[in-house]
Structure 1
């Protein structure tokens, strides 16, 4: 599949879901995807790192998952050894089903696992090594994830968080937990709604 075909598909998905979101007065009913330039930058980070095991927290209907799946496909095409994998989690069954359909349509359902689970429970039980974690979920719960993120991330691993400029007040304490920790190199990028990147050193 060409990048042009992939881009056209994800552009249609983004516009369709944005129109849906614009009509929803209740933010919890919205799909709330990251911005297209953020999605492309996220994929470029994953490809440049040649990530082996990626975790996405907040699948929604699969827009960012598709971009991570695209990155995964590029890594696996270039690598004849072990396959890279992606685990994406969300609490909402319908959204996960929708995301799965999008992945199947673009034939990105290989090496990708979708799980319906609460992020706090998943992280507390996880012993896996994730070299990239992408966080785009309910911000009021982020503080509950800090200890497990720091346990799971090892040298060179990367945490990426969306909406850190658009909702700066809501994530300030969470970001500070990494910015004030000398084990992490942190950057806030003015891409889309704002991306935060913390790299374990």
Structure 2
């Protein structure tokens, strides 16, 4: 559950992340956390959808995985989160442990294509996409394959990096059976519903 104490702590962690990123120039050294309102949006979606099987592409230091993990834990489900950086996975592990989410969230270090390819058809209720935007369009056929009916995909940075996300948006909008819209939450959330 998302207690008031957790919300306060998550706000503090976001502020610390912003300060950390301001001190580091290299993208690989940044945390690039989602905004707290994006976290709340994700939490609400997971709870309302009663999502049990979640996948996150782009763990970073685990901030978004905490928001998703708390909702998943309340649903008695499981979240898998993948990042290509072993350093970021280690940071995420420590953060998730501090929230008691080590039994709800599985962290994977590796290539997202491999993780997607290893998922069964229609096995993921919700997917959060917040990684290398140049690869998203290539992910789409696998995402569409693994998403359950009425499953949801949320892509961060839909407004802040709209040009980088254009190919992915076009691929989604050209696929029958999917409804998608961009919402002005955080840096922009492109939300896809498998309307089948």
TM over 0.5: yes
C-alpha contact (below 8 Å) 2:120/2:146 kept by paired residues: yes
Structure 2 stretches lacking a partner, 5+ long: none
C-alpha change, 1:181 and 1:92, in structure 2 (3 Å) is same
Q: Distance in 2 between matches of 1:141 and 1:22?
A: 26
Aligned partner of 1:89 in structure 2 is: 82
20-29 or 182-191, larger mean C-alpha shift = 20-29
The RMSD of aligned alpha carbons is 1.4
Q: CA deviation at 1:28?
A: 2.9
Instruction: Write the deviation string for residues 136-169 of structure 1: whole angstroms up to 9, x where unpaired.
Output: 0011111220110111113111111000000000
1:37-74 CA-to-partner distances (Å, cap 9, x unmatched) read 01110110000000010001111101100001110122
Instruction: Name 1:120's counterpart in structure 2.
Output: 113
CA drift of 1:2 comes to: 6.5
Indicate which of 114, 117, 140 corresponds to 1:146. 140
Question: For the Cα contact (< 8 Å) 2:2–2:71, is it kept in 1?
Answer: no
The count of aligned residue pairs is 194
Asked if residue 68 in structure 1 is aligned to residue 51 in structure 2, the reply is: no
Partner in structure 2 of residue 16 of structure 1? 16
Match of 2:161 among 167, 170, 190: 167
User: Does the 8 Å contact 2:73/2:101 carry over to 1?
Assistant: yes
Secondary structure of the residue that 1:127 maps to in structure 2? coil
Distance 1:171 1:2, change over 3 A: closer
What is the alpha-carbon distance in structure 1 between the residues aligned to residue 46 and residue 166 of structure 2? Answer: 25
Structure 1, unmatched stretches of 5+, are 77-83
Give me the TM-score of the superposition, normalised by structure 2: 0.94
CA–CA separation in structure 2 for the residues paired with 1:198 and 1:169: 18
* Residues 73 and 104, structure 2, Cα contact 8 Å, conserved in 1: no
